[in-house]
Amino acid sequence: MKRFFKYPIIFIFLNILSSNAQVINNQSGYYRFQVGAFEVTALSDGTVPVDAHQLLHPEDPARIDKLLAEAFIESPAETSINAYLIKSGSRLILVDTGAGELFGADHGGALTSSLKAAGYLPEQITDILLTHIHVDHSGGLTVKNKQVFPNATIHVNKKELDFWSGQEKTTATPGATVNKPAFAVLKPYINQEKVRTFSGNVELFPGVSTLEYFGHTPGHTVYVLESGKDKLLFWGDLIHIAAVQLSGPEISNDYDTDKQKAAIQRQKAYADAAKSGYLIAADHISFPGIGRIKAKGNVFEFVAVPYSVLGRNK
């Protein structure tokens, strides 16, 4: 299958950064809920504006405007950057780390303050599960040249780590340098042997397992949390702009390393979630990004969990 090595993500973001400084409002940065016996906390890293037309390329570009209008969203869409914390006995497991300082001072980088607001310190994090190595997922690992999570072991699919370490060494691939900061922030952890890889679909901890969803990146991984009757899938980048992609999983997406494969994975993930009715937590669905997927004819819908002071998920 043909591979596409394009990394325009940064270009899109930098374009926006230079033209549209964000006013940061102090919204609540965490939301706690229960998945069986596990306490899960959604953590906001902030938002970043994404130009839907620069990111997504349907056959008919007018379709984007129509779908956004139906969802009352204006492009550039103010896109959430979410991470998630799983409390499991003595372990505190973080899924993704936001953008850190890689989107500049005005976008992202709020993960640590959200974590503190939720009652935890970065030093307490024992494990970090990376869905993939992109700036808005691994970015929060190292800020101002300092490891933000000094006591954590980082878990990532072997294919993902191998791919980006290979890219680090090459200068020939056009655009290969663009995602280098996402790997550079992981380097201090690699150097101290704090990074562990896995292959295939495996159980990492009791109730926490991995699912290969390669396409967006070569080792893009979904993490599954299961307890009692509850099941939640951490989707990573299976979705960026829900209002458009749930109606068109096949729409070409500039962030994808392998566009064809990524489109197939989106279709598969949305259909499976709709059929099974489990919870999903998505890094780029509006914070807290937790809910379920419903099939409606041949398209899909996201239904957010109802707000609950008790942490209920239905």
Under the rule (CB under 5 A), what is the footprint of Zn ion?
136, 237
Q: What's the token pair of residue 108?
A: 């992202």
Phi and psi (nearest 5°) for 32?
Answer: -100, 140
Q: What Rg, from alpha-carbon coordinates, does the chain have?
A: 18
Peptide bond into 61 cis (omega under 30): no
* Residue 88 or 167 with smaller CB distance to Zn ion: 167
* Residue 226 or 237 with smaller CB distance to Zn ion: 237
* Residue 143 or 285 with smaller CB distance to Zn ion: 285
| Cβ-proximal residues to 217 (8 Å cutoff; 6+ apart), any chain | 132, 133, 134, 160, 163, 237, 257
Taking the complex as a whole, the smallest distance from the CB of residue 170 to Zn ion amounts, in Å, to: 23
Taking the complex as a whole, the smallest distance from the CB of residue 74 to Zn ion amounts, in Å, to: 20
**Degrees (nearest 5) of the Cα angle 7, 13, 18?**
135
Taking the complex as a whole, the smallest distance from the CB of residue 257 to Zn ion amounts, in Å, to: 12
Q: What's the token pair of residue 231?
A: 């099941």
Q: Go through 138-170 and write b for each residue having 16 or more CB atoms within 10 A of its CB, e for each that does not.
A: bbbbbbeeebbbeebbbbbbebbbebbeebeee
Taking the complex as a whole, the smallest distance from the CB of residue 264 to Zn ion amounts, in Å, to: 19
* Residue 139 or 248 with smaller CB distance to Zn ion: 139
* Residue 237 or 258 with smaller CB distance to Zn ion: 237
User: Which amino acid is located at 173 in the chain?
Assistant: T
Residue 97's alpha-carbon distances to 82, 137, 142, 268, in angstroms, are 8, 5, 10, 26
Taking the complex as a whole, the smallest distance from the CB of residue 239 to Zn ion amounts, in Å, to: 9
* Residue 185 or 230 with smaller CB distance to Zn ion: 185
* Residue 38 or 220 with smaller CB distance to Zn ion: 220
Taking the complex as a whole, the smallest distance from the CB of residue 227 to Zn ion amounts, in Å, to: 26
Taking the complex as a whole, the smallest distance from the CB of residue 134 to Zn ion amounts, in Å, to: 5
Residue 312: exposure state from Cβ atoms within 10 A (0-12, 13-18, ≥19)? exposed
